Structure 1
Amino acid sequence: MAFPQGRTPLAEQVEELLAGGGPLTIVAAGDPVLRRGTEPFDGQLEPALLARFVEALRVTMHAAPGVGLAAPQVGVALRIAVVEDPAPVPDEVRLARGRVPQPFRVLVNPSYEPVGTERAAFFEGCLSVPGWQAVVPRHVEVRLRAQDEYGRAVDEVFTGWPARIVQHETDHLDGILYLDRAEPRSFSSNEAMAARWAQPTPEAAASALGFELPGTRGTRGAGPVSPGQQ
């Protein structure tokens, strides 16, 4: 990656953010920075500043806590995200959702494309939409292309929950929130999630709230949705 001479406006913004120390403030839905899309990274932050920014994203993600965080979520319109998932879930959840541990990764200028046509729908939340979750249909498998924080190429296929995280965070960099892809009838508060929809899959919610899951056309209002969507 080429590094431009002199300070850039984004570098000055990041320096100002980091001056406060500790976790960064996560911006909430309604802030235009979440909808503008991002500027591809091309050295706007010199290596030492980039490393400090990445560490701040990691600290902020852990403090939230979350399994991914994109730069726009802390107000920086730069095409960088971090992901990490220790996946501390019961076996039935792991099997149903394909949720397996993911190490800490930095995604610079990521893009993804589906592998195959299979889709699965699960409840999903977002640190920029606190207090709410909704069912989001997503590709089961995607191919991610990106660079890491050192400029090394990343070309990897992700499946299951890791693929969902990749799609969610990359969408943030395109000005897309999970709300844009969600089933509107599935929107549930965190309180409702804990009381009603804590099952590994959202079939019960689909039946009770009246929305369709991938592969269940025509089932609305027809009683419980058959299991096995993933």
Structure 2
Amino acid sequence: MSPDSRNETIREARTADVSAERIRETVDQVLGSEVLPPIVQAGHPVLRQQAVPFTGQLDDAELGRLIDVMRRVMYMAPGVGLAAPQLGIPLQIAVLEDRFDVDPDVAAVRGREALPFFAVLNPRYEPLGTSRKAFYEGCLSLNGLQAAVLRPESVRLDYTALDGTAQQRNFTGWQARIVQHETDHLHGILYLDRAELRSLSSNAEYSARWAQPDITHARQELGFLPGESAG
């Protein structure tokens, strides 16, 4: 089965069956804690459900505090994005920011540029064009693993900003990969659902063997993806 056809057959997750009251209770627990909440790991059902669209379940003050907590958890991890379900909250909310310094050669190959912090509510993305690139990805909810994922190189993101306005932005390169990864989280999709499973590596093996700017060497040695599809 080709990567494209496999992506098309990813099972649609059911929407989380949870009341607004229960969501507020969960958020209150997160906000009321004296320590930052742990990141939910794969196997927890909240990661396999479509999160509930944000429709005002939290007031502006609660939403702002939640965004602040999510941002701090993302920094501490550290990561470049975090979705509310990763804190056990089944709401379509995510924060994104890429502020890491990377080798210029790596950045050039991966199309990686700094992504200023922003938060999204109810995001959806659509591919722009047909170009796809494959690179290794990891996930804060799948500790210790990385795998190569073939994704659209450019996407259009439609979302609601924190002030309630509808926004539309285009992203390309590594920014587009971050946008897709975090939006997928809100629809019950983990990056492994889209990954080339023959590429699956522990962090230690990835660092020792496959941490080149692109996946050419890993593809050849592990036997995944035809050469013309590789990033």
TM-score relative to the length of structure 2:
0.89
Does the Cα contact within 8 Å between 2:216 and 2:227 map onto a contact in 1? no
| Runs of 4+, deviation exceeding 6 Å | none
Is the aligned partner of 1:38 residue 2:54?
no
Is the aligned partner of 1:61 residue 2:77?
no
Runs (5+) with no aligned partner, structure 1: 1-6, 217-228
Does the Cα contact within 8 Å between 1:119 and 1:214 map onto a contact in 2? no
- Percent identity over the alignment is 51
| Structure 1 residues 50-129: aligned runs within 5 Å | 50-129=63-142
Does the Cα contact within 8 Å between 2:96 and 2:118 map onto a contact in 1? yes
Aligned-pair CA distance for 1:149: 1.2
Residues of 2 paired with 1:113 and 1:215: CA distance?
A: 23
Q: Do the aligned partners of residues 213 and 80 (structure 1) sit closer, same or farther apart at CA in structure 2, a change above 3 Å counting?
A: farther
- How many residues of Structure 1 are paired with residues of Structure 2 in the alignment? 212
Amino acid at match of 2:137: E
Counterpart for residue 198 of structure 1:
211
Is the aligned partner of 1:137 residue 2:153?
no
Give the 3-state SS of the residue equivalent to 1:187 in structure 2. strand
Runs (5+) with no aligned partner, structure 2: 1-19
Q: Which has the higher helix share?
A: 2
Residues of 1 paired with 2:100 and 2:174: CA distance?
A: 10
Residues of 2 paired with 1:113 and 1:190: CA distance?
A: 30
Give the 3-state SS of the residue equivalent to 1:134 in structure 2. strand
Q: Deviations over 1:112-159 (max 9, x none)?
A: 000000000000000000000000000000000001111122101000
Residues of 2 paired with 1:85 and 1:46: CA distance?
A: 28
Aligned-pair CA distance for 1:18: 1.4
Residues of 2 paired with 1:110 and 1:58: CA distance?
A: 17
Residues of 1 paired with 2:163 and 2:21: CA distance?
A: 19
Q: CA RMSD in A?
A: 1.2
Amino acid at match of 1:200: P
Counterpart for residue 212 of structure 1:
225
Does the Cα contact within 8 Å between 1:110 and 1:144 map onto a contact in 2? yes
Amino acid at match of 2:49: R
Counterpart for residue 14 of structure 2:
none
Amino acid at match of 2:77: A
